[in-house]
Structure 1
Amino acid sequence: MTKSQILFSIIIMAVCTLITRLLPFLIFPEHRKTPPLVTYLGAVLPYAIIGMLVVYCFKQVSFIQYPFGIPEMIGFLFVIFVHRWKHHLLLSIGGGTLFYMILIRFVF
């Protein structure tokens, strides 16, 4: 890419990011009540997204070939344990990722 194409791409990405950040405030101003559907989606979607991520993470795990999904299951249980213990999302995800990487590099 040329320098002008790179600059143009950065400008387009910045404008798109700005639009996606400002659009909810323009559609749902502070003085208006938020529609019930939007409130419902705000309550339900985070759990649906986490569930989808879990399915995505385990979609290619083979339970019939060595190591039979053992490191993935141990990492999954580690994330659950740390989250129930500390209730800190970044600590549980980051710690679980680190723990899983150690498992697959040095144990399995």
Structure 2
Amino acid sequence: MSTDWINTLEALTVVALVTILTRSLPFLFFGGKKELPETVSYLGTVLPAAIMIILVVFCLRNTILTVYPFGLPELLSVVVVIVVHRFKENVFLSIIAGTGLYMILTRTLFVIGN
């Protein structure tokens, strides 16, 4: 075997072991218990919303509001995500609709440069 294949195999082995370890840790810690600790239950209710907020901030962090197109594709896409989610209550449909609108707007209506 060449060294490229050996390095690839080593990397895949490490990734597989880390994945197995991280997925099995909750069962090792909480497997025999009937009820989860209060801290874990609290984190289970708070973290999904916190992660979504972090993702929205991350996606909108480079939006420039003082130069054309003044953040309009981003704003319109966020509005579409909110409206679709309010009416359909489907996370995947909301994300697909917002992403699709953003891609269409940036490729057709708000083309910058070449």
**TM-score category of the 2 structures, normalised to the smaller one:** over 0.9
Distance 1:6 1:73 in 2: 42
3-state SS, counterpart of residue 6 of structure 2: helix
The amino acid of 2:89's aligned partner reads: H
- 37, 40, 61: which one pairs with 1:38? 40
- Normalising to structure 2: TM-score of the pair? 0.90
1:73 Cα offset (Å): 0.2
**Structure 2 gap segments, 5+ residues each:** none
CA distances 1:38-76 after superposition (whole Å, capped 9, x unpaired): 000000000001011111111110111100001100000
1:32 Cα offset (Å): 3.5
5 Å matches for 1:55-66? 55-66=57-68
Residue 74 in structure 1 maps to residue 76 in structure 2: yes
Identical residues among aligned pairs (%): 44
The amino acid of 1:84's aligned partner reads: R
RMSD: 1.1
* Residues matched between the structures, number: 108
* Partner residue in 2 for 1:26: 28
* Partner residue in 1 for 2:95: 93
1:30 Cα offset (Å): 4.2
* Partner residue in 1 for 2:8: 6
